[in-house]
Amino acid sequence: MSALFNFQSLLLVLLLLICTCAYVHQIFPTILDRNKQGLMGIFWKAARVGERLSPYISLCCVFMAVSMFVGN
């Protein structure tokens, strides 16, 4: 089943996108900072969400990991 039709998988994909963008922005900030507009701006915004809401994002990642472990 596609991740777009399974809500838990969609949340997992969004969390992974946010975490990956925040990590890339921390290591290579110029890559995302020069692309704030357009389609690449989505990654810059995801990095901002990951940086500013990092405690909540990490709690969501732990919750998703536990729910995946318990669900299987």
- How far out from the chain centre does Cα 59 lie? 13
Q: Which of 2-6, 15-19, 34-38, 66-70 has the lowest mean pLDDT?
A: 2-6
CB–CB of 47/22 below 8 Å? Answer: yes
Please tell me the total count of domains within the chain.
1
Query: Does residue 65 lie within any of the structural domains?
Result: yes
Cα dihedral sign, 36-58-24-1: negative
**28 lies in a domain?**
yes
Q: Is residue 5 part of a domain?
A: no
pTM score of the predicted model: 0.80
Write out the residue range of the structural domain in which residue 31 sits.
17-71
Please work out, in degrees rounded to the nearest 5, the angle formed at the alpha carbon of residue 16 by the alpha carbons of 25 and 20: 15
pLDDT value at position 72? 60
